[in-house]
Chain A
Amino acid sequence: MPIAVGLEGSANKLGVGIILHPSHDTPTDPPSPHDSAHSDDGAFHPHSKQHSSPPVQILANLRHTFVSPPGTGFLPKDTAAHHRRWVVRLVRQAMKQAKVRLEDIECICYTKGPGMGAPLGSVAIAARTLSQLWDKPLVGVNHCVGHIEMGRAITGAENPVVLYVSGGNTQVIAYSAQRYRIFGEALDIAVGNCLDRFARVLHISNDPAPGYNIEQLAKTGNVLLELPYAVKGMDVSFSGILARVEEMAKKLEASNGSWLDPETNTSPITKSDLCFTLQETVFAMLVEITERAMAHVGAAQVLIVGGVGCNERLQQMMGIMAEERGGSVYATDERFCIDNGIMIAHAGLLAHKMGFETQLKDSTFTQRFRTDEVLVNWRD
């Protein structure tokens, strides 16, 4: 049966997912709502009435996150140790939840890269072990392609421009001739990294995620301070913005409420205002390059994936932009936006169906693995 296990651990989340692709050859009755992954979530109903392939079934999707104390980030060594500590428990639980027999499993998929070396390594070892233990082929998956394919499967977006925004990646991607081509990207740090590191300076909690807590604070901010704005064509740069906003954060701590809104000169600047300023600025940059890519390739659909893609303000801004262009925005919730095992299982199974396999001797991991290196031969 086309069932795959996916293991993800490129950053501080360890994910295990088990997916079933209902087979194409057996013309089945129309999929009941219980078949599809998205049916249990009314907000993200697929817009595709005629999806080219039958909907995928998510049998299990578990995640455990390594949360570091406020003011710190997650270090590779500690993160890898976290993944090693949890991977067996998570796989056991996923298998139990999915209720699949070993002989039904077609392949073991794991994140080959890009990501942090040490956590990737510990998960690759787990995948190799499972593959040897159960005598199943291995499939190494590009993390970014996993995000894109899962986003497409969940939302039903056919051929969208993809904005992939997370702690490690910022890319605007469009599909062309069996590759996901990168039209624009961050030239230095990723947008999520910019948000995370800003959160550290202000000692904002990393639980459940620094970006989430910034988003909540930003909801009560309303003063827009001036930050650099670095868009170059379809590329963006965040390091200068981070440096500036970190300065502001330090100024805020030192000011003790004496730093007043430059416009009104009455109300003091707050943490919330800084969060608001940062979000408004970096999201405007992201929407701008996405719009440029959409104009370039003539697309009206846009799909947001990656951890930062959960942010509702980003989704709202993108929605207004897409609407102005006569299109629509597709986004998923935290189960699929944030790193997870199911997307690795999904993309791996797509590749495996096309005959792709990773031999044991090649089952390495890599910190550098560009999205456009993958031959996407499962799409036309």
Chain B
Amino acid sequence: MTEPTSLSLSACSHLPIPFNTSPEPLELIAQGAESLLYKTTFLFPSQPAALKIRPVKKWRHPTLDKRLTRARILAEARVLVKLSGEGIAVGGGGRKVKDPKKGNGVVGGMRGLVPAVLGLDWEGGWLVTEWIEGGTVKEAIYRVSRARTMGGSGVGLSGDAVVEELRGLLRKMGEVVGKLHACGVVHGDLTTSNMMLRPFGTASPQSSKPEGHDEASAQLSTGPAPDVDQPKSTSRSQTSLEGDIVLIDFGLATQSVSDEDRAVDLYVLERAFGSTHPREEELFACVLDAYAHGEGSGMNGKAGKTVIRKLEDVRMRGRKKSMLG
């Protein structure tokens, strides 16, 4: 990922139809290896949306490029639609679908916890999803981490209280991943940059008019530039970790219920967390604890614990095979 640049700002002619006629330039939010993420509106000027474009890769054969772009856009959209439960009943709790207590509560179990699909075009190579308000979990943790460094001074919070808040956030991360897995999907690229912390009350039911998006847009960035936090965030509580965790970027997601895939998913998150938030690394156990206990009607207790045991194996071999000549 490179930092969001002003690359997009002059004209939109390089964007696929219908975004090339946008009267205002789209705001480039993030640029990954595969795709460009823009903020735009969809159908109504009042409906903010995230536009993900998979540009043509000139280095690969055009036929292959078309085939891959189509497959990937469709796969991502299918996973998102499945998760938001649009008319699809979802089994729960891993393999034991018939668990009477918890697992079955997950028909459309991720509704509101993943962005809804608004539109797509595999020929043009784009996917539009609902815009998620708030910032990334990564930014939130950085913010809190800074407050911790300053000893909580001026915030009226002791270091311990901050740690408690962090624990709460991490438990929520474990819950949401548990729910995702219970729905039969593994994310494939879990990091704190792929989790949004959406303040309560800013969820936009698709049909209704979204509220409060204009003032939030100032603090939005899924880009990896956490250190450019605007001064205005200090006006809020330094440690506002309230809100729902919403998972984004399902570009590498697959539909799977295998313990192995789920454990690798957790392992990827564990490694990413450790390298992004070294100071908070010892708190990561909260994520696994919440996951294993199936909090928030995620993985039911038994399935969750099996995955955690599998995670031990994955850790031991470091995800990788032992290398043969």
Contact = CB atoms under 8 A, between A and B. Distances in A.
A187 interface: yes
Given A116-B325, A182-B320, A369-B323, A295 B1 contact: yes
Contacts of A114: 323-325
A-side interface size class: 35 or more
Contacts of B33: 288, 291-292, 294-296
A287 B61 contact: no
Contacts of A309: none
B63 interface: yes
Contacts of B32: 295
B297 to A, nearest CB: 29
Contacts of A281: 64
Given A229-B64, A233-B189, A318 B321 contact: no
Contacts of B67: 226, 229
A271 interface: no
B2 interface: yes
Contacts of A324: 58-59
B320 A317 contact: no
Interface in A66-125: 113-117
B2 A287 contact: no
A224 B252 contact: no
Contacts of B14: none
A287 B325 contact: no
A280 B322 contact: no
Centre residue among B32, B34, B57, B58 by max chain A CB count within 10 A: B57
A368 interface: yes
Contacts of A287: 59-60
B68 A229 contact: yes
Interface in B204-226: none
B188 interface: yes
A168 B323 CA distance: 10
Contacts of B57: 288, 321
A284 B324 contact: no
A298 B2 contact: yes
Contacts of B58: 320, 324
A224 B61 contact: yes
Chain B interface secondary structure, helix, strand, loop or mixed? loop
B323 A368 contact: yes
Interface in B48-77: 57-61, 63-64, 67-68
A278 B321 CA distance: 25
Given A224-B64, A294-B33, A368-B324, A321 B59 contact: yes
Nearest to B65: A284
A124 to B, nearest CB: 14
B-side interface size class: 20 to 34
Contacts of A288: 33, 57, 60
A317 B321 contact: no
B30 to A, nearest CB: 11
A115 B325 contact: yes
A61 interface: no
Nearest to B268: A233
Centre residue among B2, B188, B189, B323 by max chain A CB count within 10 A: B323
Contacts of A317: 59-60
Contacts of A291: 33
B64 A284 contact: yes
Interface string B150-188: 000000000000000000000000000000000000001
A169 B1 CA distance: 27
A185 B323 CA distance: 10
A320 B65 CA distance: 14
Nearest to A318: B59
Nearest to B189: A233
Given A229-B68, A295-B1, A295-B33, A368 B322 contact: yes
A213 to B, nearest CB: 21
A232 B72 CA distance: 12
Nearest to A189: B324
A295 B251 CA distance: 15
Given A280-B64, A321-B57, A233 B325 contact: no
Interface in A268-317: 280-281, 284, 287-288, 291-292, 294-296, 298, 316-317
B320 A233 contact: no
Contacts of B60: 280, 284, 287-288, 317
Nearest to B60: A284
A136 interface: no
B264 to A, nearest CB: 9
A294 B59 CA distance: 16
Given A324-B58, A369-B323, 10 more contacts: A114-B325, A182-B320, A185-B320, A187-B321, A233-B188, A287-B59, A292-B33, A296-B1, A316-B59, A318-B59
13 contacts: A11-B325, A114-B323, A185-B320, A226-B67, A233-B252, A288-B60, A298-B1, A317-B59, A318-B59, A321-B57, A367-B325, A368-B323, A368-B325
Interface of B: 1-2, 32-34, 57-61, 63-64, 67-68, 188-189, 252, 268, 320-325
Q: Which 6 A-B pairs rank lowest in CB-CB distance, beginning with the nearest? A: A295-B33, A320-B59, A284-B60, A317-B59, A292-B33, A280-B61
